[in-house]
Structure 1
Amino acid sequence: MTLKNTLDNIQQAIAGLTAPGGDFEIIQADVLGQSLPVYKPAPGSLRDIYMACLQHNQKTFLVYHQQRLSFMDTYQQTAKFAYILTQQFDVKKGDRVAIAMRNNPEWIVAFMAATSLGAVAVPMNGWWTTEELEYGLQDCGAKVVVVDNQRMQRIEPFYQAMDIRAVVISSAANSQPSTDTQFNYSELMSACADQQMPTVEISTDDDATILYTSGSSGKPKGVVATHRSIINTLVSWLLLAVGSEVAGAKPDNMPEADDLVALLTVPLFHVTGCHSLFLLSLIIGRKVVMMHKWDPQEALKLIEQEKVTYVNGVPTMSQELLDAAENTDRDISSLVELASGGAARPPEHVRRISETFKMNPVNGYGLTETNAMGAVNAGITYIECPDSVGMPSPAVTEIRIVDEQGNSLPAGERGEICIKSPANARGYWNNPTATADAFKDGWFHTGDVGYLDDLNMLFIVDRIKDIIIRGGENISCNEVEAAIYAYEGVAEVAVFAVPDERLGEVVGAKLFMKANASITEQQLVEFLQDHIAAYKIPSHLIISEEPLPRTATDKIFKREIKEQYLAAMQASV
């Protein structure tokens, strides 16, 4: 069967499923002033989705080290913590509840509890420094922050001055008793009897989350998603899975629904971890095995032990997992689907997944601003067309390519990728200027350059925004430059992406010092450690003895600096 036939069959199946009376019937609705297609049977809020826990009951949902929680356990803990948030912390609809910790079951309980109350969950980047956490908590105006011990140490210097109360998740060995401003999570939960989920009226277009993303403008921006926007993403993924099965494009080795097990390898503060691994698993009854941190050998152990069927992470992870699998005696035959997102996966990796390991390769394209919705390439279509990120996610997402004047371009012509969908975020928190620049007439302007081919498959070829994508983490060049400029004596700096075989891209920087000033690489790294997360610190540093080259308009000529450095790297190989 040709690629075109496969795509046509999937589209035909989806058309039947979304027709009037279908399981995924689509209707037009007013979404924040825009008339958009939405799913008629979709749940009204995330709290409605959490009710799926009652259906899955005692089936195992979360596995973390020695801890195991059923769907019912998770729901009951959520109801209890939601009660605590309302009664002891006066959290009301619209209040922000920040979450700053590593992946663990309490992260999920805190998220579910906050959004069940109509409050706004604000997952914070777990790698952020004290300075970055202070910015995020101040920007979102959090009333409560749920933190682990490590993040508590980082916010200790400032959180009381911001009138934020902290709920601390501690291990038994590191547990501290509650104080007036710090509250021990275990103490709070142990002292509270089982509760019913608090009843709060939640509208489908109410704010649900604020996730911070690094763009080209410097400081991270808070992306505000509504209940509707997140739910439309989840339902779209379900639709694609059902449509592929109806069309006969589902791989033969896919397990039954009761046997689905996902390995959580990526942070929950990203849409991939939060939406495709956590929230989607709630709906379909999939067990989630949580890793403390990424380690390919530990991943192989967990795949064998828990019979993991699905792994999703950045391409680096899938490559390291396959490398480790070639030299192991562990039985990983349960693993049938290996997905990635956040960066391009080389075509040879796709062939390796499908031919050598007989797994189903999956790739997705989406952004925080689209709640991970965009395009999907999976199975047969991905194997046939590995350079593409796939067709636009059915069936409520539109993608168009535009020129600099905003005119739509025909198939094959390159331009900016724009996405319109009810899954789009409503904008940036407290940032109307950035919102107006990025969200125009319902279209989100991604800052990515690409084209659609004659089969409506999307290809990404470049980036307009001045960002670096390191192992799936977006890094603003402007933010890193601002941090370096804060070092006394720096006259000029240019930050740029350097290709990296393992991480895709890493941070490079070239700087020029003022007269009578000097700096070493070690001095700069030590300085930056207090200001930006470790993954943003340059791993390639050039200290120039001459001023940096400039364009005719007197701007630092970053492209030339990058090209010269990459040419020098190539020549030294």
Structure 2
Amino acid sequence: MASQPTISVDPNWPAMPLTQAKALLTAPGAPFEMDEVAIRGVLTRIWKNAPPSLPRFIGASRAAGDQLFVIHEDERVTYEANHRAVAALAAHLVGLGVGRGDRVALAMRNLPEWPVAFFAITALGAVAVPLNAWWTGAELEYGLTDSGARVLIVDDERHARLAERYAAAPALEHVLVARASTALDGIADRLEDAIGTPHDWARLPDAPLPDVAVVPEDDAAIFYTSGTTGAPKGALVTHRNLMSNVLSNGYSSARSALRRGEMPVPPSPRVLLTVIPLFHVTACSAALMPAIATGSTMIFMRKWDTIRAFEIIERERVNITGGVPTIAWQLLEHPDRGRYDLSSLESIAYGGAPSAPELVKRIHEELGALPGNGWGMTETCATLTHHSGEEYLMRPDSAGPPVAVADLKIVAEDGVTELPVGTIGELWARGPMIARGYWNRPEDSAATFVDGWVRTGDLARVDEDGFLFIVDRAKDMVIRGGENIYSIEVENVLYAHPAVTDCALIGIPHRTLGEEPAAVVHLCPGCEASEAELQEWVRARLAGFKVPVAIRFVADTLPRNANGKIVKSELKALFAV
């Protein structure tokens, strides 16, 4: 194994204050120059040089030519081959009658077909609807029905879950199945009949994208996020939302260089091991878009396996990986780590779950890589704050400062009063990355999106330098390895069991996952149910990551406050080791 380099923080760091770095990077004529435009009636700072739309963006990616874009097992897809597949699929969708504003759902694991489908849909001015590939058939059916998708592009595994449910989605007209293992009938056809397999894409005709005018404020995608009512809400994001991350990512890197005392250099292609699912904004917006902008290579894994990851990092000379803290912990703590050459790793970045300051230090000291972290949510189309390298090492409990086009404020419980620096309150955020609202939910949209600001539901504080510190979540949610689990969704399933009369879901600490869901249950008099029985009850109705890892039974109903709300803080002691 090659030895890992030792990285030290210069005792004179930082070489430049944040305010000076921001001024230099955003000055007139600079790459990160800003402008101001009205977005839904609100004057908003934007990146002046951000790509105007997804079709213009993917069209420009052809300049990378034979540079590898995606590696998946024995499939190696270049940027040119990817573009040809996007154009071919877009033309096929036009033939199916897909046009501006139509919803096209996408349900598959990370495959080369995923970005092809996403860019083909959005090239038409249609709206991509990435569905959580971990969802059960019933949850996937909900996404299809709620979005009103006319077409579904799906892989074989998701097709098997949904095949008997297509009739329940009244708007659905066509299904394209990638890598089908069985004969198809009804409204389902093989995706390969339209574009071939990834091995074929380089030989597809050199055709242009359809001539459709798409502007920055056009709707681009609906990303589902769990809601406090138990039913997922679709965050409707625009082309500008998704394209903002292209420059936000570059800005953060350039800011880090200036703070280090170095002149920023144009980004060069890197190799990324992408292990988080593309149906999340973290991977789609904060990883896929910057990767394409830099001509980088993304490697998709069939399933996360630490040894397999070591092999890929060594063989492909991977520079960047991460996604959630769990991945970093497993890379660090696997007993066979020393057998592999991991010296190509430059950065391990993550978000979406709490991380321990110890993890930041160990990434730096043991892997010779610079740690990175950021904060965002589905409603912010991923990155709103970001820091990496020395910045993160010096403030390992922070989520970083906002990117230049974003603003943060801390608001009191009255929803009006802005609180002073260092005070804990609800985090509000604004910028060109904030979603347009929730799909077909005007009341929820009005409550969450206020005059260009999004009410995040997170309790936070901001220090005198503008660094964000997430303190707690106001929303009743557990984050397990980056996956959001809204308590009420699981509680509603438990309440549906005939033996359960009272229950609550809480998060219990987990060293690598951040948190895991656990439940406290009170059974009706004379009723019986075991932990395994209730776990199986939930597993049959919700995605596996939402199943409580432990259930405690109590003889009395759960403790409540004067407003009748369960006092969950009193329940955590039931799970103390």
Aligned to 1:482: 492
Equivalences for 1:506-525 in 2 at 5 Å?
506-525=516-535
**TM-score, with length taken from structure 2:** 0.93
Moved more, 1-10 or 282-291: 1-10
1:196 correspondence with 2:208: yes
The answer to whether the Cα contact below 8 Å between 2:244 and 2:432 also exists between their aligned partners in 1 is yes
* Alpha-carbon offset, residue 258 of structure 1: 4.3
The answer to whether the Cα contact below 8 Å between 1:43 and 1:49 also exists between their aligned partners in 2 is yes
Aligned to 2:178: 169
Aligned to 1:96: 103
In the alignment, the residues of structure 2 paired with residue 459 and residue 250 of structure 1 have an alpha-carbon distance, to the nearest angstrom, of 27
In the alignment, the residues of structure 1 paired with residue 130 and residue 11 of structure 2 have an alpha-carbon distance, to the nearest angstrom, of 39
1:462 correspondence with 2:468: no
In the alignment, the residues of structure 2 paired with residue 281 and residue 461 of structure 1 have an alpha-carbon distance, to the nearest angstrom, of 31
Equivalences for 1:182-261 in 2 at 5 Å?
182-190=188-196, 195-248=207-260, 257-261=267-271
In the alignment, the residues of structure 2 paired with residue 85 and residue 448 of structure 1 have an alpha-carbon distance, to the nearest angstrom, of 40
Aligned to 2:63: 55
In the alignment, the residues of structure 2 paired with residue 425 and residue 25 of structure 1 have an alpha-carbon distance, to the nearest angstrom, of 22
Q: Which amino acid aligns with 2:55?
A: R
The answer to whether the Cα contact below 8 Å between 1:10 and 1:249 also exists between their aligned partners in 2 is no
The answer to whether the Cα contact below 8 Å between 2:105 and 2:152 also exists between their aligned partners in 1 is yes
In the alignment, the residues of structure 2 paired with residue 527 and residue 554 of structure 1 have an alpha-carbon distance, to the nearest angstrom, of 27
The answer to whether the Cα contact below 8 Å between 2:252 and 2:387 also exists between their aligned partners in 1 is no
Post-superposition CA distance 1:213-267 (Å, at most 9, x none)? 1243321110111001111122121122233334545699x9x854511110100
Q: 2:343 aligns with which of 333, 336, 342?
A: 333
Post-superposition CA distance 1:402-436 (Å, at most 9, x none)? 11123111111111111111110011111111111
Aligned to 2:367: 357
In the alignment, the residues of structure 1 paired with residue 374 and residue 407 of structure 2 have an alpha-carbon distance, to the nearest angstrom, of 15
Post-superposition CA distance 1:180-219 (Å, at most 9, x none)? 4001011222498553211111121011011111243321
The answer to whether the Cα contact below 8 Å between 2:13 and 2:260 also exists between their aligned partners in 1 is no
Moved more, 291-300 or 157-166: 157-166
Q: 2:406 aligns with which of 397, 413, 418?
A: 397
**TM-score, with length taken from structure 1:** 0.93
Structure 2 regions of 5+ residues with no counterpart?
1-8, 198-203
In the alignment, the residues of structure 2 paired with residue 295 and residue 339 of structure 1 have an alpha-carbon distance, to the nearest angstrom, of 18
Structure 1 regions of 5+ residues with no counterpart?
none
The answer to whether the Cα contact below 8 Å between 1:123 and 1:211 also exists between their aligned partners in 2 is yes
Structure 2 SS opposite 1:51: helix
Structure 2 SS opposite 1:373: strand
* Alpha-carbon offset, residue 516 of structure 1: 3.2
Q: 1:113 aligns with which of 120, 133, 137?
A: 120
* Alpha-carbon offset, residue 116 of structure 1: 0.9
* Alpha-carbon offset, residue 55 of structure 1: 0.8
In the alignment, the residues of structure 1 paired with residue 63 and residue 272 of structure 2 have an alpha-carbon distance, to the nearest angstrom, of 19
Structure 1 residues 259 and 334: CA distance shift in structure 2, 3 A: farther
Structure 2 SS opposite 1:158: helix
In the alignment, the residues of structure 1 paired with residue 372 and residue 402 of structure 2 have an alpha-carbon distance, to the nearest angstrom, of 14
Equivalences for 1:302-381 in 2 at 5 Å?
302-324=312-334, 327-381=337-391
Q: Which amino acid aligns with 2:159?
A: M
Q: Which amino acid aligns with 1:261?
A: V
1:18 correspondence with 2:26: yes
Structure 1 SS opposite 2:286: helix
1:285 correspondence with 2:291: no
Q: Which amino acid aligns with 1:298?
A: R
Post-superposition CA distance 1:304-339 (Å, at most 9, x none)? 111100012210110101123763322111111111
Structure 1 SS opposite 2:569: helix
In the alignment, the residues of structure 1 paired with residue 152 and residue 335 of structure 2 have an alpha-carbon distance, to the nearest angstrom, of 39
1:428 correspondence with 2:438: yes
In the alignment, the residues of structure 1 paired with residue 108 and residue 262 of structure 2 have an alpha-carbon distance, to the nearest angstrom, of 37
In the alignment, the residues of structure 1 paired with residue 268 and residue 244 of structure 2 have an alpha-carbon distance, to the nearest angstrom, of 24
Post-superposition CA distance 1:159-180 (Å, at most 9, x none)? 1342422110116xx253x534
The answer to whether the Cα contact below 8 Å between 1:38 and 1:396 also exists between their aligned partners in 2 is yes
Moved more, 236-245 or 321-330: 321-330
Moved more, 547-556 or 358-367: 547-556
Aligned to 2:200: none
Q: Which amino acid aligns with 1:41?
A: N
Structure 1 residues 396 and 4: CA distance shift in structure 2, 3 A: farther
The root-mean-square deviation of aligned C-alpha atoms, in Å, is 2.2
In the alignment, the residues of structure 2 paired with residue 259 and residue 331 of structure 1 have an alpha-carbon distance, to the nearest angstrom, of 21
The answer to whether the Cα contact below 8 Å between 2:313 and 2:344 also exists between their aligned partners in 1 is yes
Q: Which amino acid aligns with 1:196?
A: P
* Alpha-carbon offset, residue 128 of structure 1: 0.4
Aligned residues: 560
In the alignment, the residues of structure 1 paired with residue 386 and residue 44 of structure 2 have an alpha-carbon distance, to the nearest angstrom, of 21
Structure 1 residues 190 and 269: CA distance shift in structure 2, 3 A: closer
In the alignment, the residues of structure 2 paired with residue 475 and residue 408 of structure 1 have an alpha-carbon distance, to the nearest angstrom, of 29
Q: 1:146 aligns with which of 148, 153, 161?
A: 153
Equivalences for 1:36-51 in 2 at 5 Å?
36-51=44-59
Structure 1 residues 170 and 347: CA distance shift in structure 2, 3 A: same
In the alignment, the residues of structure 2 paired with residue 459 and residue 392 of structure 1 have an alpha-carbon distance, to the nearest angstrom, of 11
Structure 2 SS opposite 1:410: coil
Post-superposition CA distance 1:457-494 (Å, at most 9, x none)? 11111111000000010001000011111112321111
Post-superposition CA distance 1:518-557 (Å, at most 9, x none)? 2112222222222111110111101223222232333333
* Alpha-carbon offset, residue 287 of structure 1: 0.7
Aligned to 2:393: 383
Aligned to 1:418: 428
* Alpha-carbon offset, residue 11 of structure 1: 3.5
Equivalences for 1:295-306 in 2 at 5 Å?
295-306=305-316
Structure 1 residues 527 and 75: CA distance shift in structure 2, 3 A: same
Instruction: Give me the identity figure in percent.
Output: 38
In the alignment, the residues of structure 1 paired with residue 194 and residue 106 of structure 2 have an alpha-carbon distance, to the nearest angstrom, of 17
Aligned to 2:4: none
Aligned to 1:529: 539
Aligned to 2:3: none
